[in-house]
Chain A
Amino acid sequence: MAAASDGTLLQGLRYKGREGQWSWLLHRVAGLGVLLFLVLHIFDIFLIGFGRTTFEELLFLYHSPLGRLFEVFLIFAVLFHAVNGLRIIILDFWPGLMEHQQRLVWVEVVVFLIIFLPVAVITLSPIFTGA
């Protein structure tokens, strides 16, 4: 509530921080998303203690087409957060690279896409082939 009255969201959107700002925002949103899934994932694995039937009845959540779509979001979030986090660490320990920080974001985007796209295709293709 305090944040809203400070106008931080609107100010944030007007701030023209370009690559740095957007990667910062996406890092945060992806991180929170992964944390949310992690809590769900600990819960679903915990249920394996209740036996085969309980556990496998729950798995329909992940085996449905909607589940696969969520899976791609998860893969996107984990991979982006990982590659972007690596960029942050590199800049933290080699401050001299700050001069090239915007270019570094585009290097990161390329690295991310090379890993993400094939995995996304593998994950989504069973929806279309019906496998």
Chain B
Amino acid sequence: MLAQRRRAMPSSNFELYAWFFMRVSGVILLLIAVFHLMLMHASIGVGNIDFDTIAGRWGSPFWRVYDFFLLAFALTHGINGARYVTDDYIHAQGWRVTVKALLYVVYAIFIGMGAYIIFTFKA
């Protein structure tokens, strides 16, 4: 028989929710990011994209909302992934805290920039 081991209880469920979020957002991104990639790269072609392409796309509220979800899910998923990598490789606490703080600043600024242009753009 295996000896019973006391399990270390985490002080919060944050990491569990983060793990779950990565799975859920991963599946959502598999659909919306891969579709975006196929549409812009394989179907339209990056060489054919200019100001009018974006203006036409954002003429419809649907694509503005689509792009906002793409932005929010992709950047949150990506920054959380970078947080995992930071925890794995940066062992000195001072540097680890600094790098993570920087990640959160980048997150806030770029979510803000992206959302701003998606919802205020006028052709």
Contact = CB atoms under 8 A, between A and B. Distances in A.
Contact of B91 (A6, A82, A118, A131): A6
Does more than half of chain B's interface fall in helix, strand or loop, or is it mixed?
A: helix
Does more than half of chain A's interface fall in helix, strand or loop, or is it mixed?
A: helix
A99 B20 CA distance: 23
Interface residues of A, number: 41
Interface residues of B, number: 39
Contacts of B30: 82, 85-86
A38 B78 contact: yes
Interface in B23-69: 23, 26-27, 29-30, 33-34, 37-38, 41-42, 45-47, 49-51, 54
7 contacts: A35-B81, A56-B50, A62-B46, A68-B46, A68-B47, A86-B30, A123-B41
Interface of A: 1-3, 6, 8, 28, 31-32, 34-35, 38-39, 42-43, 45-46, 48-49, 52, 55-56, 59, 62-63, 67-68, 71, 75, 78-79, 82, 85-86, 89, 92, 118-119, 122-123, 126, 131
